[in-house]
């Protein structure tokens, strides 16, 4: 069935910034499609208030904690992060009046630190050589030593995938009646699990759920290899139809293609996901491919990935991106 392209002149009226999270645009990327019968759609999660899909997750986790009485007014929130989730939580905690302490690798891009500080978060640095896993380890130690902290823990919190099951997926289904494949990156697993489960329930096996995963040892920004020793508890691999590996070099190349050919200014994980979406599209004669643009590119400007030669930035393995 023909996709609906109704222009919505207003994004809605909301009581505060937290309520405005979601309802992001679904954009057709005509120049990236390898065949006329295959349509590629980008769900621009970069249009959320802090510029990333993690706004949905942070709101969902905090809302669940408040509804269940798990947090008290003014209680300190503690969360391991190396970027977007921490920034999203910082915005929401600032609005709701909760102090926030984030545990973050000491080798993140400076934009991350600046944004977290801007929203008033306190930062505790972990060993950057251990990546995001090191931040998780340290945060769990801190939570065990100080019971007054509340840790949403995105890696194991069911509210993470529920943000997509109840939000992102229904928004996609509102615009498209038929979807051949849904592509997202392997990070915490929330985006894949929540969207994948809802799309499968609504469309059955006609939709394939595809994960973009970095090759082991490849520092693809925003994604994680399941071979790095930590599989987030919320991930159910049986939900996936395919898992396709991507290199950091391809991720950077396709991030630039998104910008150069479609005007989409996205983070590098989105480039990795886009490369897999186009690969899936090349295998089909017709259908709709939907992929997630996880965040915008503002947090990555200092890395030079949009301006320097690809070979110069493709091996930035000392920087943590998510």
> What gap in Å lies between CA 207 and CA 157, rounded to an integer?
26
CB atoms under 10 Å from CB of 23, counted, come to 15
Let me know if 269 is a catalytic residue.
yes
Q: How far apart, in Å, do the first and last CA atoms of the chain sit?
A: 37
Let me know if 257 is a catalytic residue.
no
Q: What is the dihedral of CA 174, 273, 305, 112, to 10 degrees?
A: 60
Enumerate the H helices of 129-168 as residue ranges.
131-145, 159-163
The interaxial angle of helices 268-282 and 248-262, nearest 10 deg, is: 80
Phi–psi pair at 63, nearest 5 degrees: -65, -45
> What gap in Å lies between CA 234 and CA 186, rounded to an integer?
12
Burial of 20 (0-12, 13-18, 19+ CB in 10 A): middle
Residues 64-72: contacts with CB within 8 Å, 24+ apart?
64/157, 64/159, 64/162, 65/150, 65/152, 70/150, 71/98, 71/150
Cβ partners under 8 Å of residue 35, min gap 6: 281, 282, 284, 285, 286
Q: What angle do CA 131, 93, 269 make, to 5 degrees?
A: 35
- Catalytic pick from 52, 88, 269, 275? 269
- Catalytic pick from 33, 46, 54, 200? 54
For the annotated catalytic residues, the residue numbers are 54, 269
């Amino acid at each position: 069935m023909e996709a609906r392209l109704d222009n919505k002149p207003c994004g809605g009226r909301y009581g505060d910034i937290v309520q405005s999270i979601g309802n992001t645009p679904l954009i057709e990327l005509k120049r990236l499609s390898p065949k006329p019968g295959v349509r590629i759609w980008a769900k621009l999660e970069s249009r959320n208030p802090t510029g990333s899909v993690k706004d949905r997750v942070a709101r969902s986790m905090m809302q669940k904690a408040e509804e269940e009485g798990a947090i008290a007014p003014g209680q300190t929130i503690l969360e391991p992060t190396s970027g977007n989730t921490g920034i999203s939580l910082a915005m929401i905690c600032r609005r709701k009046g909760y102090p926030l302490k984030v545990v973050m690798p000491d080798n993140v891009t400076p934009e991350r630190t600046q944004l977290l500080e801007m929203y008033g978060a306190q930062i505790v640095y972990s060993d950057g050589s251990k990546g995001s896993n090191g931040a998780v380890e340290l945060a769990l130690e801190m939570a065990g030593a100080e019971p007054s902290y509340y840790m949403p823990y995105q890696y194991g919190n069911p509210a993470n995938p529920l943000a997509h099951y109840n939000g992102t997926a229904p928004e996609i289904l509102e615009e498209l009646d038929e979807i051949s494949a849904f592509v997202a990156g392997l990070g915490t697993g929330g985006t894949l699990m929540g969207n994948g489960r809802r799309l499968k329930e609504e469309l059955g096996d006609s939709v394939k759920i595809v994960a973009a995963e970095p090759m082991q040892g490849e520092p693809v920004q925003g994604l994680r290899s399941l071979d790095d020793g930590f599989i987030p508890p919320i991930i159910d691999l049986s939900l996936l139809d395919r898992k396709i590996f991507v290199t950091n070099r391809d991720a950077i190349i396709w991030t630039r293609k998104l910008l150069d050919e479609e005007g989409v200014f996205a983070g590098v994980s989105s480039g990795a996901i886009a490369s897999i979406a186009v690969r899936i599209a090349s295998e089909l004669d017709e259908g709709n491919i939907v992929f997630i643009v996880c965040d915008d590119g503002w947090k990555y400007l200092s890395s030079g990935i949009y301006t320097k030669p690809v070979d110069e930035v493709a091996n930035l393995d000392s920087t943590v991106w998510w």
